């Protein structure tokens, strides 16, 4: 008996991440605390193939954004 495998959704989420600290790593006395972006600041783009999502995320990271690839659990059988 074969299982039907659904299509997995793949998307990239990116947002502008500004570094406000002016110190170098050797001068930092306190660790920087992560402040998650609001949902209105996060952009999303969906892809059919993981390789396309990876290339897009790399471009966004190179442009100064914080980008990450996300996927849901569909397609795992």
Which tens digits make up the pLDDT trace of 46-65? Answer: 999 999 999 999 999 999 99
At CB < 8 A and 24+ separation, what contacts does 15-24 make? 15/41, 15/42, 15/43, 15/65, 15/66, 16/41, 16/64, 16/65, 16/66, 17/64, 17/65, 17/66
Q: Is residue 46 part of a domain?
A: yes
Q: Is residue 3 part of a domain?
A: no
pTM: 0.69
State the residue for tokens 């952009």: 43
Q: How many domains does the chain have?
A: 1
Instruction: Compute the mean pLDDT over every residue in the chain, rounded to the nearest whole number.
Output: 81
Expressed as residue numbers, the domain containing 65 is: 9-15+41-77
Q: How far apart are the C-alpha atoms of 55 and 40, rounded to whole Å?
A: 24
More reliable by pLDDT, 33 or 41:
41
Q: Is residue 65 part of a domain?
A: yes
Q: Is residue 68 part of a domain?
A: yes
């Amino acid at each position: 008996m074969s299982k039907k495998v659904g299509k997995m959704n793949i998307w990239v989420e990116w947002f502008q991440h500004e570094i406000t600290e002016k110190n170098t790593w050797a001068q930092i006395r306190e660790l920087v605390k992560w402040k998650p972006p609001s949902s209105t600041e996060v952009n999303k783009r969906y892809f059919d193939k993981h390789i396309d999502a990876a290339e897009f995320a790399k471009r966004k990271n190179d442009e100064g954004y914080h980008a990450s690839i996300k996927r849901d659990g569909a397609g795992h059988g």
